[in-house]
Structure 1
């Protein structure tokens, strides 16, 4: 099931723009290896879930996966073939706002080679460029 907030103050959010690098959530904290974004963007809840499933299928319960992002932003869209006007569309999906340097996923309890293969599978699903980093 896709992630979404239990409740929000406002149903519809403005687009905003992603400026600067992540100052928080940019280091490996929970696991031994992390998947770090190299560019900014939005990652939908469905994409986060797809990455989780891909990682879980690969590690098969021998390691632990940590998801470090959460989709707080509602993305709206107007139905296709709709005329101009009539206001902003209804919320379509939820997305996590990712800045360059944000840690997306972390892995613990697996070897470096296994983590590399696992994160390679995740990288294919991500809409932003990512890299694998080790804990300091």
Structure 2
């Protein structure tokens, strides 16, 4: 799973996801991309599962770029623990996705294969997404 090598702070606030993405909202590397259309937190497990589904359907042809990285720690207290006594321990890492953010980019495959691969990857993510393509691509 993806996680940062080191972080400045061990624990983070939950935070809110306001507005639309200004960074990472354009295709920079590939011809096709998977764009988020709703805000939510995406876990490192979801990202990895979607990436595996994407590359397996493409049969390792073409190239895949991952445009997000889970760097926000999420904590959780153990079950049946009373209130208080501080914040829980680190459980997993997430990325806060804003609407309009490109999550994956693909190049080197035709549009039909890319569309089917993105459909499989979309099923692994907890957010609504749509496929986008670079202008000038058939």
Corresponding residue of 2:124 = 125
1:107 alignment partner in structure 2: 106
Give ranges in structure 1 of 5+ residues lacking alignment. Answer: none
Q: Which residue is 1:15 aligned to?
A: 14
Superposition pairs for residues 61-100 of structure 1, below 5 Å? 61-100=60-99
RMSD value over aligned CA atoms?
A: 0.6
CA distance in 2, matches of 1:132, 1:56: 16
* Partner residue in 1 for 2:43: 44
What is the count of residue pairs matched by the alignment?
Answer: 135
Give the TM-score normalised by the residue count of structure 2. Answer: 0.96
- TM-score, normalised via structure 1 length: 0.97
Q: Deviations over 1:51-85 (max 9, x none)?
A: 11101111112111110000010000000111111
Q: What secondary structure is seen at the aligned counterpart in 2 of 1:76?
A: strand
Rounded Cα–Cα distance in structure 2 between residues aligned with 1:62 and 1:122: 16
In the TM superposition, structure 1's runs of 4+ consecutive aligned residues that sit over 4 Å from their partners are none
| Inter-partner Cα distance in structure 2 for 1:113 and 1:13 | 41
Shift of 1:115: 0.6
Deviations 1:11-68 (A, max 9, x none): 0000110000000100111100000000111111111110111011111121111100
- Give unmatched runs, 5+ long, in structure 2: none
Distance 2:75 2:123 in 1: 25
C-alpha distance in structure 1 between counterparts of 2:33 and 2:26, whole Å:
8
